[in-house]
Amino acid sequence: MPSQPFNGVLVPVLTPFTRSGEPDAARFVAFCRWLLNQGAGGLAIFGTTSEANSMSPAERMSLLDRLIEAGVPAVKLMPGTGACAMTDAAALVRHAVEHGCGGVLMLPPFYYKGVSDDGIFAFISGVIDRVGSPALKLFLYHIPPMAVIGYSLDLVGHLIKAYPETVVGLKDSSGDWSNTAALLERFPGFAVFPGSEVFLLDALRKGGAGCITASGNVNVPGIRRLYDNWRGPQAEALQAEITKLRTTLQAYPMVPALKAIIAHYHNDPDWAAVRPPLVALDRAQTAALIADLDKLGFTLGERPQAKAA
């Protein structure tokens, strides 16, 4: 069983943008610190929820530089390093490894559809070989609802066999529990994270490492409570509670909804901005979302201390 530093509630961190549409490093650093203070087990920055693919590789690397400069522990970071081009992906992975990041989360090359497992294997192995670092811990990012192509069970097995010290885990955002269960059964010791806390208790019972979930941006404490007490008598009730919040969130476009929540509860309206092709919630949607959350008695922790730029 290869070592890897992540467990618990990992958060694919939202990326704030300034009014002119640029990544807002000051707000980003403050928000990352806040999530860790709330109990996040790691920060999967530059994921789907982070609008990572709406940023250039240079923009992503610059934000990571800023986090490290600000003293956020690199070992807690699992930046998304996926790209359609092997050269871009290798540059992002190399940069993360040089910073000492605990791991990287790797999309398959998502432009071409209908590609073979052999083609995806060649891509991932090409990236690993180009980087050539024993420090690299690579987590596969399986998200067919966005990438369409994904990591089949056989391909996962092939990659683990070829790179047992490097390919150490997977985020399963298929939304298909049977796939997550099959991964946990077939690859014991491989760190499997479902992409939603809805599957957290089921995953932990089968040896899962935790979850990497968008809703972590607004509910680390609730999800963490289940993670810390999953063997206890309250586990089912805690699962039901976080599932209820997740279900409420899922009635809205996820990324704009999460940003609207931060903007509202932290009284920081600029947080609501997204980059195209995503579209921010309008006033009516935002009001409906907040009303739904009020019904659940939702609260968000204190606003991050560092003053936003």
Distance CA 264, CA 276 (A): 21
**Contact indicator for 117, 158 with CB cutoff of 8 Å:** yes
How close are the terminal C-alpha atoms of the chain, in Å? Answer: 43
Cβ of residue 145: shortest distance to its own copies, in angstroms? 7
Query: Residue 4 or residue 15: which is nearer to its own copies going by CB?
Result: 15
Cβ of residue 56: shortest distance to its own copies, in angstroms? 4
Cβ of residue 184: shortest distance to its own copies, in angstroms? 26
**Half-sphere exposure (Cβ direction) of 247: Cα atoms closer than 13 Å:** 9
Q: Which two tokens stand for residue 158?
A: 């092939």
Cβ of residue 84: shortest distance to its own copies, in angstroms? 4
Q: How far is CA 151 from CA 7, 36, 41, 122, 185, in A?
A: 21, 29, 25, 13, 16
Question: Taken in order 185, 187, 188, 189, is the CA torsion positive or negative?
Answer: negative
Query: Residue 3 or residue 20: which is nearer to its own copies going by CB?
Result: 20
- CA-closest candidate to residue 105, choices 224, 197, 212: 212
Query: Residue 51 or residue 197: which is nearer to its own copies going by CB?
Result: 51
- Residue 35's CB: how many other CB atoms inside 10 A? 26
Distance CA 206, CA 202 (A): 7
Query: Residue 149 or residue 183: which is nearer to its own copies going by CB?
Result: 149
Query: Residue 122 or residue 235: which is nearer to its own copies going by CB?
Result: 122
Establish whether the linkage from the previous residue to 277 is cis, with ω within 30° of 0: yes
Cβ of residue 62: shortest distance to its own copies, in angstroms? 11
Cβ of residue 234: shortest distance to its own copies, in angstroms? 36
Query: Residue 90 or residue 203: which is nearer to its own copies going by CB?
Result: 90
Question: Taken in order 11, 76, 183, 225, is the CA torsion positive or negative?
Answer: negative
Binding region for its own copies (CB under 8 A): 21, 48, 53-57, 59, 83-88, 91, 108-113, 115-116, 118-120, 122-123, 126, 145-149, 275-279
Cβ of residue 90: shortest distance to its own copies, in angstroms? 9
Q: Which two tokens stand for residue 52?
A: 């990572």
Distance CA 200, CA 41 (A): 14
| Residue found by looking up tokens 């947080």 in the block | 271
